Structure 1
Amino acid sequence: MALSEFNLQYVPQKAAKCQALADFLAHHPLPYSFRGNDIKIGMVETRNNYWTMYFDGSSTSSSAGAGIVIQSPHHDRWYFSLKLDFDCTNNQAEYEALIIGLGILHDLRVTHALIFDDSELVINQLNGSFRCMSCTLAPYHMVVSCLAESFDGITFEHIFQIHNTDADEFAQIASGAQLLGAS
């Protein structure tokens, strides 16, 4: 309405339908900026050029496994399910999954990563909220800390298990655990 006093003529730009939205956003940047190019989408925070990794570990009386889901900034996804061939606790399996996942990100030359898991213990140890007092987890914590230093930006975030189902299922499959609802 405010522009109706001017003699403006609308001429649609010709573009391929799949490219029209991308072209519009590229030519019309937002007048305000998000904190450091951050955008909140549901429960997950994504950042430009950040890769996302979800991980989980599973330990049963007979086996252990790791599940990892890696997502690129372009939303390509890779799923990993690995059987651990040694006895370990559930928390050790969590750390094993994290170390393997960080190794994959490092091999992909990722510099910025958002890491998500449903283990409050592991995430809070990595964020410094909890001290790692366990002599069985301390070596894992030290390896993860060293690996994390190779990234320019890395964030460890706790999420609820409902938001980590893919990594959880892949970890359970690798450990041979019976999935809920499976016959």
Structure 2
Amino acid sequence: MTARKLRSYFLSHPTVVLTNSPLGRVMTHAEVSGRMVKWTVELGEYDIEYKPRAAIKAQALTDFLIEMIQPVEEKVWRVFVDGASNLSGCEVGVVLVSPSEEKIKLALRIDSRVTNNEAEYEAVLAGLQAAREVGASRVIIYSDSQLVTQQVKGTYEAKNEKMLKYLGLITARATSLTDWSIEQIHREENAEADTLAKLAASNRNKHPGSSLFYPTDALY
């Protein structure tokens, strides 16, 4: 097939066929019969030399495969979250920091009565949602809430029904991520997210009927 399609090249240049089969001996043997005679006659007009294929060293092949399939490491997004509650509802601040150190800031508000711990859970949910929206696959969530971070990690046991529901929502929302974790930080290190949560509260006081953002999967 190759000789027919590339006949002009086969006629103009010598051809070397690398093979580990006894093809050369078969094709050049005088006592060929049947279809082999036809193939021998057809290929006889070309200058073809048959050589054994050199073995590829195993380590060279292994190194090549490792180089070709080496995955590109996905960069990590950092997400700082903070939540606060008051008589009129819940405010959340989220700061997303991209691998190139660019920041996206969100001030969110939920018009439902929650406790302070529940507000911190809402902040984690909002942070995961925001990370998913920007296409992040590897995420580290930073929160200054010891209870929430330790319950999400499994260090503290969650017995309250609301806390268990929040843990279920967090697990479900994180399924779209390749890898994620949550870490506790000091309140001073979470100042930007805290300021954004206060901004959401300020907007509530100025515009009681408006909402900057309403996260999905709310419990209320």
What is the TM-score when the length of structure 2 is the normalising length?
A: 0.56
Quick check: 1:59–1:175 contact (8 Å CA) kept in 2?
no
Which residue of 73, 78, 85 maps to 2:111? 85
Which residue of 116, 124, 132 maps to 1:106? 132
Flag structure 1 segments of 5+ consecutive residues without an equivalent.
1-46, 178-183
Identify the residue that residue 150 of structure 2 maps to in structure 1.
124
Do residues 167 (structure 1) and 189 (structure 2) align? no
Give, in angstroms, the shift of residue 51 of structure 1. 0.3
In the comparison of the two structures, how many residue pairs are matched? 131
Please tell me the residue identity of whatever aligns with 1:97: A
Distance in 1 (CA, whole Å) between partners of 2:149 and 2:87 is 24
Which residue of 82, 86, 111 maps to 1:56? 82
Distance in 1 (CA, whole Å) between partners of 2:163 and 2:200 is 21
What is the TM-score when the length of structure 1 is the normalising length?
A: 0.67
After TM superposition, the structure 1 stretch with the greater mean CA deviation from structure 2, 56-65 or 108-117, is 56-65
Distance in 1 (CA, whole Å) between partners of 2:150 and 2:90 is 22
Quick check: 1:48–1:73 contact (8 Å CA) kept in 2?
no
Cα-to-partner distance string for 1:78-101 (whole Å, 9 max, x where unaligned): 111112111111111111121122
Secondary structure (helix, strand or coil) at the match of 1:129 reads: coil
Give, in angstroms, the shift of residue 48 of structure 1. 6.4
Distance in 1 (CA, whole Å) between partners of 2:202 and 2:157 is 31
Over 3 Å counting, the alpha-carbon distance change for 1:89 and 1:168 in structure 2 is same
Question: What is the root-mean-square deviation in Å for CA atoms of aligned residues?
Answer: 1.8
Please tell me the residue identity of whatever aligns with 1:169: T
Flag structure 2 segments of 5+ consecutive residues without an equivalent.
1-72, 204-220
Cα-to-partner distance string for 1:12-69 (whole Å, 9 max, x where unaligned): xxxxxxxxxxxxxxxxxxxxxxxxxxxxxxxxxxx96000000000111233200000
Distance in 2 (CA, whole Å) between partners of 1:160 and 1:173 is 20
Q: Give structure 1 regions of 4+ aligned residues with deviation exceeding 2 angstroms.
A: none
Quick check: 1:54–1:117 contact (8 Å CA) kept in 2?
yes
Distance in 2 (CA, whole Å) between partners of 1:135 and 1:114 is 26
Q: Tell which has more relative contact order, 1 or 2 (C-alpha 8 A, sep 6+).
A: 1
Give, in angstroms, the shift of residue 172 of structure 1. 2.2
Identify the residue that residue 152 of structure 1 maps to in structure 2.
178
Distance in 1 (CA, whole Å) between partners of 2:95 and 2:176 is 20
Distance in 2 (CA, whole Å) between partners of 1:67 and 1:135 is 25
Quick check: 2:83–2:122 contact (8 Å CA) kept in 1?
yes
Identify the residue that residue 168 of structure 2 maps to in structure 1.
142
Distance in 2 (CA, whole Å) between partners of 1:148 and 1:63 is 25
Distance in 1 (CA, whole Å) between partners of 2:109 and 2:134 is 22
